[in-house]
Structure 1
Amino acid sequence: MKSFIPLVLLTGLTVAFPSAFAHNDDYHNNKDCLSDADATRVTNNWLGIFSGNPGLINTTLSKDVTVYDALINNGNLSAIATNREDYYKFVIKFTYPEEGVIKNAKYTLEGGGLMFHTCDKIAMRYIGHAESTGKFSAPAGTPITVAVNQLLSVNKKKEINIAWSEYDLFTMLKQVGVIQNPWGGP
């Protein structure tokens, strides 16, 4: 059942953002398509941004990147950032100890490699492990684990130009103490 859930969630992303899977005529030449090595590099860099290396934003994202994040927007489909600089500020605010709500973050592909790609899209499911900084009601050091479904669109330079994220928001908000389990128990 657990392996079925990521498939359902990734399918949900395709329904929520059908234009993300539309064929792009600019990619008619195979040399412009992602290779397996390109997709792995982009994926590792994306995860690295949140695991202690925000400088990867400058080499992994296009200058005019647009980022949609269901966690921050509570399901609203408006973008949280429309360029590298704004996304850098967002990442620093939420994921680095000086400013952030979490620390010691480490993100890895679920099951050691749940990622697949097309010519210009990468879909993945990854797991984040971190600790609370105590900025919510959970005490500092409280373990935080979140599962994320991610869809990335890349340009011909193999930079991310659009990113869509969907999180297990209920579980994460429960872990940091923002909400309590309405059914009782932990």
Structure 2
Amino acid sequence: MKTVVLLFHPDMQHSLVNKRLVEAAGQKRSVTIRDMYALYRGQPIDVDAERRILMNADRVVLQFPLKWYDAPTLVQRWKEAVFDDYWLHSGKGGQSVLANKELLLAVAYSEPSYDFTKNGKYRTTIDELLKPFQVLSIHLGMQFCQPFTIYELDDLQKSSKEYAEMIVKEDLPIQK
């Protein structure tokens, strides 16, 4: 299975969690890692290259830190540039060119997980915050995998190993 990790971290130099996750994932042979801020900070997105990468992958991982309860701004800019309905539905019989590929989110957040419960500080869950990505996957014809989420004070060594194993695992749980 070919997996591409699209890393959207605006400040990798000061990252602890995402840096460790990427290092662990990079040790897997079938994984390609793309640092999207290194490629596109202040630069136009190479739409054709990004589409080729998506079409050649079996699993697409969007990895990012949760900033102000959302993905970093480059994620939205990338989605708006790359996803176009004419391109998406140019497959056989109008089928999505990304049909049946997997979309996995890897999200790091800096507040305790108990704050993200129905009775917690924010009265919402991480899954609810990430719901727009699940809707996007439906539109794209992709299978939405159960997200990998990590609180920054979790056991980072253990979590990074689990992440590296997860992104290459054949049968990830699909969220319905």
TM-score, normalised by the number of residues in structure 1: 0.24
Structure 1 or 2, whichever has the larger Rg, is 1
The one of the two structures with greater contact order (alpha-carbon pairs below 8 A, sep at least 6) is 2
- Greater share of residues in strand: 1
